[in-house]
């Protein structure tokens, strides 16, 4: 079976979805050998350093 070529527009959409993505995923949905949808899910990660946690808790405790 001969592989189908992917249109430049779809390749560019996939590359655009990857731009700047640090943590997350790209989901490419295919129906009948054709790309029909591209989903980008981006995650935000936060540091769990003890010093930043105590500052956050202290600041939150001072808000009344």
**Gap between the Cα atoms of 35 and 7, Å rounded:** 10
Query: Which has the higher per-residue pLDDT, 8 or 54?
Result: 8
Long-range CB pairs of 19-26, under 8 A, 24+ apart, other chains included:
none
Query: Which has the higher per-residue pLDDT, 4 or 17?
Result: 17
Are 60 and 52 within 8 A, CB to CB? no
Are 33 and 4 within 8 A, CB to CB? yes
Q: Rounded to two decimals, what is the model's pTM? A: 0.63
**Gap between the Cα atoms of 12 and 44, Å rounded:** 24
pLDDT band at 46 (very low <50, low <70, confident <90, very high): confident
pLDDT score for 4? 75
pLDDT per residue as tens digits for the range 15-33: 999 999 999 999 999 999 9
Q: Where are the domains of the chain?
A: 8-62
């Amino acid at each position: 079976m001969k592989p189908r070529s992917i249109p430049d527009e779809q390749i560019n959409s996939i590359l655009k979805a990857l731009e700047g993505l640090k943590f997350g995923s790209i989901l490419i949905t295919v129906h009948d050998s054709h790309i029909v949808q591209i989903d980008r899910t981006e995650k935000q990660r936060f540091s769990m350093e003890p010093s930043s946690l105590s500052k956050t808790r202290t600041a939150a405790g001072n808000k009344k």
